[in-house]
Amino acid sequence: EAQVTQNPRYLITVTGKKLTVTCSQNMNHEYMSWYRQDPGLGLRQIYYSMNVEVTDKGDVPEGYKVSRKEKRNFPLILESPSPNQTSLYFCASSPPTGGADGANVLTFGAGSRLTVL
């Protein structure tokens, strides 16, 4: 089954304790992205990757890091989490974002709910 898998689904942690949320896709997609979802704000993009070893900041990158060493994996790293990073996080992937038909039809993971105390 074609899917994007995120782990963990739920996590409660404390301020300053480094954590990593993993994301893996099995569709051989070039493009991957991380979003955070907050009430009243919709989805905001944190980081994205156009392909292996190509990553760039989205709209709200502060406090986050990513890497893309393999095509299928795109982990999100919080080096020193703070309470304002309490949120619902989604990883998504798609074929290349250029072009018309099919572009930007994202496949999303089930989400990771993070609470930072």
| Residue of 34, 64, 74, 90 interacting with other proteins (CB under 8 A) | 90
Distance CA 52, CA 111 (A): 23
Task: Please give the structure tokens belonging to residue 11.
Answer: 């996590």
Give min distance, CB of 115 to other proteins, in A.
16
The residues in 45-74 that bind other proteins, with binding defined as CB under 8 A, are 45, 48, 50, 56, 58
- Chain centroid offset of residue 18 CA: 16
Distance CA 86, CA 99 (A): 35
Kindly list the residues in this chain that would bind other proteins in the complex (CB under 8 A).
Answer: 4, 35, 40-45, 48, 50, 56, 58, 90, 92, 97-98, 100-101, 103-111
